[in-house]
Amino acid sequence: MKKLWKYMRDYRREGILAPLFKLLEASLELLVPLVMAQIIDTGIANGDRGFILSRCGILAALAAVGLVCSITAQYFAAKASVGFAAKLRSTLFKHIQSLSYSKLDTQGTGTLIARITGDINQVQSGMNLALRLLLRSPFVVFGAMIMAFTIDVKAALMFVVTIPLLSIVVFGIMLWSIPMYKKVQARLDKVLGITRENLSGVRVIRAFCKEDEERREFGERNAALTKLQLIVGRVSAAMNPATYIMINLGIAVLIYVGALRVDSGILTQGQVVALYNYMSQILVELVKLASLIITITKALACAGRVSAALDVESDMHGADTMPKEIDTDEEVRFENVEFGYATGGEPALSGISFSVKKGETMGIIGGTGSGKSSLVSLIPRFYDATGGHVYIKENDVKDYPLGALREMVGMVPQKAVLFKGTIRENLRWGNADATEEEMERALSDAQALEIVKAKPEGLDSPVAQNGKNLSGGQRQRLTIARALIKKPEILILDDSASALDYATDLALRRSLAALSYKPTVFIVSQRASSILHADKIAVLDEGKMVGLGTHDELMQTCPVYREIYYSQYEQEVKRDA
């Protein structure tokens, strides 16, 4: 939590004023029993209506000033806590954006989302309550006891006995509840996790008729959560009865002692009522304080998780300046590259070496899990090679500033991701200053112009989150257009035409070959037809490159490539035979 205090720097004034106004309100509240004692002892005893009305006016004034103080304290506490949470959330989001893919894989998307939403919300609530009540409740408890001693020392001794007993009950239950609430939170995380999986994978669940199994699993986890919550709830619910029994016993003894002292003329009836009110105030504030401490404990636990997320350091750093330009025809070169995922076991890639010249097209093919996507992810440094080197223009990719490196690369990932907005807004991710003509050119090259022309709003047609109002092929073509509009030096198509029919795929490849700025193109595909005419083809098998050359060369020298080719062109081979 100490590391997070720096986000309160801009709200130090509010952080001081909120508890001060609450203490002022509490001070006024402690005066109320004394005024009531005067009304009883003087006004009612003497039948002085004027005195009673004047003291009622004082009570009304105390209430009005107390209300103003309370609202002011709430305003400052809310401003400080909301501002603190906003800064913290913004910082955490920026930090997450700076993490490498390997760190994101290690942390997990669900965990990071929980930190930036639920955990920070809990910290905000804890901060708000702490600013308002953390000082107020102890102040009222000890203030009421001191005020009781100013009335009568012997009667106030009952407070000395009752307060520790109440504290033992309240804080005993609280100390038992805190670890139990942590277990409740852990089980709630499991319920949220399975809920998230079900919502994101609902189509897969229905496709495999797994609804009953998922309902059963959810029911089991929900029942476990409910059972634990009932246990915690029952124990926590015992707090109020236990405290009220003790406070009422204390009040009974207090009234008994007070009656004896009133009878002997030491105390007045008003003073006994004042002592009774102070005892009630203490009870209320102790219960409040216990609930507050539980809330603050939860907030501190959440703050610890947020702080831990902020402590995760990115293992990827770029250079500060661009490397010296080298006059070379070689665009990309892999030199004995090895790569393994942080969460994986065996290396995903090993011994990868090849080079690609400017303007050439490099095809990458292999079976599922052979490392095709892993290989192209090393070029824009989404991941760093764990061995060997990746060069662009004879400079190691680690010698480039990350932003500059990724500006050179147009990446179209396997999963076509579009963002909520319009087609125009999505295209401008590639080039914020793109003109209408440049957008149409990129759409035409990506075989997506017909998609836009078929819509009444054209480029201003709405796109749902993840492009769910578009088909798979439409999403892929629009993501390709988004990459083309930035006119990258290196274009990577990571199996990004898998949803296209063969005719559209062919038209797309012809458009790419005719691009005026001649990018170096990497085409990752499981279709042999998509890479047949590439200048070079790399064949991967279990993370190793088992073939490199043109289609004709690989048909002669690479059994893995022949197997892939014949498995896809079996009918044609039989027909020719």
- CATH code for the domain in which residue 373 is found: 3.40.50.300
Beta-carbon count within 10 A of 134 CB: 17
The candidate with the shortest Cα–Cα distance to 344, out of 105, 68, 87, 8, is 105
Q: What is the pLDDT of residue 519?
A: 92
Same domain, residue pair 371 and 501: yes
* CA distance to 213, 231, 232, 301, 558, per residue, from 224 (Å): 17, 11, 13, 22, 56
> CB neighbours of 332 closer than 8 A, spacing ≥ 6?
355, 356, 362, 379, 390, 391, 392, 490, 520, 522
Same domain, residue pair 243 and 114: yes
Q: What is the pLDDT of residue 576?
A: 42
**Cα separation of 16 and 12, whole Å?**
6
H helix runs in 39-100, sequence order: 45-46, 49-98
Buried-exposed string 395-431: b where 16+ CB fall within 10 A, e elsewhere: bebbebebeebbebbbbbbeebebeeebbbbbbbbbb
Same domain, residue pair 85 and 213: yes
Same domain, residue pair 166 and 234: yes
Same domain, residue pair 285 and 384: no
- Of 311, 345, 368, which closes a domain? 311
Q: What is the pLDDT of residue 506?
A: 87
* CA distance to 157, 158, 251, 491, per residue, from 36 (Å): 22, 21, 18, 82
Q: What is the 3-state secondary structure (H, E, C) of 37-49?
A: HHHHHHHHHHCCH
**Cα separation of 25 and 20, whole Å?**
9
**Which residue type is seen at 321?**
T
Q: What is the pLDDT of residue 153?
A: 82
Residue-by-residue pLDDT tens, the chain, 577 positions: 667 888 888 888 998 999 999 999 999 989 998 888 888 888 888 888 888 899 899 999 999 999 999 999 999 999 999 999 999 999 999 999 888 888 887 777 777 888 888 889 989 998 999 898 888 888 988 888 888 888 888 777 877 887 788 778 877 877 787 788 778 877 887 887 788 888 878 888 998 888 999 999 999 999 999 998 898 888 877 777 887 788 788 788 888 888 888 888 888 888 888 888 888 888 788 778 777 877 887 788 788 888 888 888 877 788 888 888 888 888 999 999 999 887 666 788 999 999 999 999 999 998 888 889 899 999 999 888 989 999 999 999 999 998 899 899 999 988 888 999 999 999 999 888 889 899 999 999 999 999 898 888 889 999 998 888 888 889 999 999 999 999 999 999 988 887 788 888 888 888 988 888 899 999 998 888 888 889 999 999 988 999 999 999 999 999 999 998 888 876 444 444 3
Please give the residue range of the domain that contains residue 541: 330-413+489-576
Please provide the size of the chain in residues: 577
Same domain, residue pair 498 and 562: yes
Separation of first and last alpha carbons in the chain: 74
- Of 311, 345, 380, which closes a domain? 311
Q: What is the pLDDT of residue 571?
A: 45
Same domain, residue pair 390 and 274: no
Same domain, residue pair 402 and 307: no
Same domain, residue pair 130 and 62: yes
* CA distance to 153, 253, 315, 355, per residue, from 396 (Å): 82, 84, 17, 13
Same domain, residue pair 350 and 405: yes
Q: What is the pLDDT of residue 142?
A: 86
285: left (phi over 0), alpha (psi -120 to 50) or beta: alpha
- Of 258, 277, 311, which closes a domain? 311
> CB neighbours of 214 closer than 8 A, spacing ≥ 6?
194, 198, 205
Q: What is the pLDDT of residue 1?
A: 60
Buried-exposed string 363-392: b where 16+ CB fall within 10 A, e elsewhere: bbbbeeebbbbbbbbbbbbbbbbbebebbb
Q: What is the pLDDT of residue 378?
A: 92
**Cα separation of 279 and 330, whole Å?**
85
Asked if residue 476 is part of any domain, the answer here is no
